[in-house]
Amino acid sequence: MNSIAAAEAGMIKPKISRVPMRCQEPAERVRNFEEVALGYNLEEAITEAGRCLNCKRPLCVGGCPVEVPIPAFISAIREGDLAEALRIVKSTNSLPAVCGRVCPQENQCEGKCILSAKKNPIAIGRLERFVADHFIALEREVSPASPPDTGLKVACIGGGPASITVAGFLGALGVKVSVFEALHEAGGVLVYGIPEFRLPKAAVVRKELSALASLGVEFRTNWVGGKTVSVKSLFEQGYKAVFIGVGAGLPSFFGVPGENLNGVLSANEYLTRINLGMAYNFPAYDTPVYKGLEVTVYGAGNVAMDAARSALRMGAGSVRIVYRRTREEMPARLEELEHAVEEGVILEELAAPLRFEGDEKGRLRSVVLQVMELGEADSSGRRGPRPREGVFRELPTDLAIVALGTGANRVLIEETPELKLNGRGYIEVNERNETSIPGVYAGGDIVTGAATVILAMGAGRRAAKAIAERLGLLPA
């Protein structure tokens, strides 16, 4: 009987439980923006790596959108060869320190681990983070040999995770990649959306982006796709392919009365001011940000958790997440939800905003909530929310943060009418992430709608392979 069959039959059990990760204590961390999770040390990483069964048919790899050779890098950690472990990870993943922190491993690689049946999967994300952090701390990069100069140029519009993946893949093949970013700093959601306490910018994001310079990747900031740079102009400049990874940053709202009151913000704006604008680091940075004492956050995904936890750190007296279903249905990562509750975020379950109320000066003062209940399960087994007729309640709030997801920003789309869109207004691509324009590829949120960092990176990897085949650098 092989190891997978034995594990599934319950005959193989890891000798020890999953090694926990140390964190700042809730009472301490809620007063600062320093990273909450502190990572593994060498002893902890080797111990956790030693739990891996080294399956002959590793299901974990199939759960990774960027196809990291997971058993191989874990084996290298177990043997103490950290340089080899990082080389293996970086053979497919340009951002291991980022992915180790923010990817939903529980639904991907770790969710496929055969030990997950015993609720004790290998901590793949933590190990990936450990090996990347080890070399960041040493200020040393483990890179492959310098790629050959092919004389080919490819452009990426948008500087988020999908474009970074394209740049890393093609740069390693000797292609000169230029990444055009609309903001003053590259990284996309990594820098404007995810808070410092989950993903440090200087210590992690900028270090991983700077490592791409050795591959000849060039980041050009303050270039707006559809305004200061266009698909057509890039081909005219000699670029042989263009990848569109501009994200989907148009915020969504409820459309209920009172959303125009002072104090009702999108999570996009709120988090961008705090993260990219460094508003949390006052007085070193004086970016204005709306501070509330009684904060309500609408939505229950990772963005909602980020906004709620940021509001606490910005000095709110109380923060409530308002959600029309229950805690069990919340789509946020379990770890982020647990951290939020530990820090004092209150969950207002089975409630949806009916209207926002303001004072005579147009300032938000309360929200009227429709009380909900869960109805019958649909074909997927999920119970849908429905209003309890005539049952309402009112909450005081002076800052409402709406985190309902985002739509496609149409600046580049309108400038490029040849791009075929799907029914939701996102760019339509085939299985190779090719668009309706020859030589133009797209991936990430501008194709899927708001999704995870790792799914955007997976799209970037597929597109990069297709571009490399188009340029004759890989066999078709």
Decide if pLDDT at 181 tops 90. Answer: yes
Q: Using an 8 Å Cβ cutoff, are 261 and 362 in contact?
A: yes
Please give the C-alpha separations between residue 442 and each of 140, 154, 267, 277, in angstroms, as whole numbers.
Answer: 32, 13, 25, 28
Last residue of a domain, one of 102, 137, 172: 137
pLDDT value of position 381? 78
Segment 294-309 shows an average pLDDT of 97
Last residue of a domain, one of 109, 137, 165: 137
Q: Is residue 281 domain-shared with residue 385, that is, in the same domain?
A: yes
- What confidence category does residue 13 fall into, taking pLDDT thresholds of 50, 70 and 90? low
Segment 274-300 shows an average pLDDT of 95
R_g of the chain computed on alpha carbons: 23
Last residue of a domain, one of 342, 370, 402: 402
pLDDT value of position 11? 47
Decide if pLDDT at 218 tops 50. Answer: yes
- What confidence category does residue 213 fall into, taking pLDDT thresholds of 50, 70 and 90? confident
Q: Is residue 176 domain-shared with residue 268, that is, in the same domain?
A: no
Decide if pLDDT at 141 tops 90. Answer: no
Q: pTM of the entire structure? A: 0.93
pLDDT value of position 8? 43
- Give strand ranges (E) for 60-142: none
User: CB neighbours of 425 closer than 8 A, spacing ≥ 6?
Assistant: 407, 408, 410, 413
Closest residue by Cα to residue 125 from 193, 64, 62: 64
57-61, 308-312, 315-319: range with lowest mean pLDDT: 57-61
- What confidence category does residue 14 fall into, taking pLDDT thresholds of 50, 70 and 90? low
For residue range 335-392, list pLDDT tens digits in order.
999 999 999 999 999 999 999 999 999 999 999 999 999 988 877 777 889 999 999 9
Closest residue by Cα to residue 209 from 201, 125, 130: 201
Q: Is residue 267 domain-shared with residue 378, that is, in the same domain?
A: yes
Question: Is residue 476 in a domain?
Answer: no
Closest residue by Cα to residue 409 from 259, 251, 267: 251
CATH of the domain at 369: 3.50.50.60
Please give the C-alpha separations between residue 356 and each of 34, 147, 310, 323, 443, in angstroms, as whole numbers.
Answer: 33, 57, 22, 16, 36
pLDDT value of position 145? 64
Decide if pLDDT at 9 tops 50. Answer: no
Q: Is residue 279 domain-shared with residue 245, that is, in the same domain?
A: no
Q: Using an 8 Å Cβ cutoff, are 468 and 475 in contact?
A: no
pLDDT value of position 15? 59
Q: Regarding beta strands 241-244 and 318-322, do their DSSP bridges make them parallel or antiparallel, or are they unpaired? A: unpaired
- What confidence category does residue 83 fall into, taking pLDDT thresholds of 50, 70 and 90? very high
Q: Is residue 275 domain-shared with residue 169, that is, in the same domain?
A: no
For residue range 440-455, list pLDDT tens digits in order.
999 999 999 999 999 9
With the C-alpha atoms ordered 185, 187, 312, 404, is the resulting torsion angle positive or negative? positive
> Quick one: tokens of 392?
């309402």
Segment 203-231 shows an average pLDDT of 94
For residue range 50-73, list pLDDT tens digits in order.
999 999 889 999 999 999 999 999
Domain limits at 44? 3-137
Return d(Cα 422, Cα 238) in angstroms, integer: 29
Question: Is residue 146 in a domain?
Answer: no
User: In the chain, what percentage of residues exceed pLDDT 90?
Assistant: 88
> Quick one: tokens of 61?
């790899």
Q: How many CB atoms lie within 10 A of CB 437?
A: 18
On the question of a cis peptide bond just before residue 283, with omega within 30 degrees of 0, the verdict is yes
- What confidence category does residue 144 fall into, taking pLDDT thresholds of 50, 70 and 90? low
302-306, 380-384, 417-421: range with lowest mean pLDDT: 380-384
CATH of the domain at 21: 1.10.1060.10
pLDDT value of position 139? 83
Question: Is residue 147 in a domain?
Answer: no
Q: Is residue 110 domain-shared with residue 157, that is, in the same domain?
A: no
Q: Regarding beta strands 364-377 and 383-396, do their DSSP bridges make them parallel or antiparallel, or are they unpaired? A: antiparallel
Question: Is residue 475 in a domain?
Answer: no
Q: Using an 8 Å Cβ cutoff, are 246 and 446 in contact?
A: yes
Overall number of domains in the chain: 3
Decide if pLDDT at 432 tops 70. Answer: yes
pLDDT value of position 379? 77
Question: Is residue 444 in a domain?
Answer: yes
Question: Is residue 43 in a domain?
Answer: yes
Q: Is residue 235 domain-shared with residue 276, that is, in the same domain?
A: no
pLDDT value of position 306? 98
Q: Is residue 323 domain-shared with residue 358, that is, in the same domain?
A: yes
> Three-state SS string across 341-366, please?
HHCCCEEECCEEEEEEEECCCCEEEE
**Residue given tokens 């308002």 in the structure block:** 322
Q: Is residue 245 domain-shared with residue 268, that is, in the same domain?
A: no
User: CB neighbours of 351 closer than 8 A, spacing ≥ 6?
Assistant: 322, 323, 324, 369, 370, 371, 372, 393
User: In the chain, what percentage of residues exceed pLDDT 70?
Assistant: 96
Question: Is residue 207 in a domain?
Answer: yes
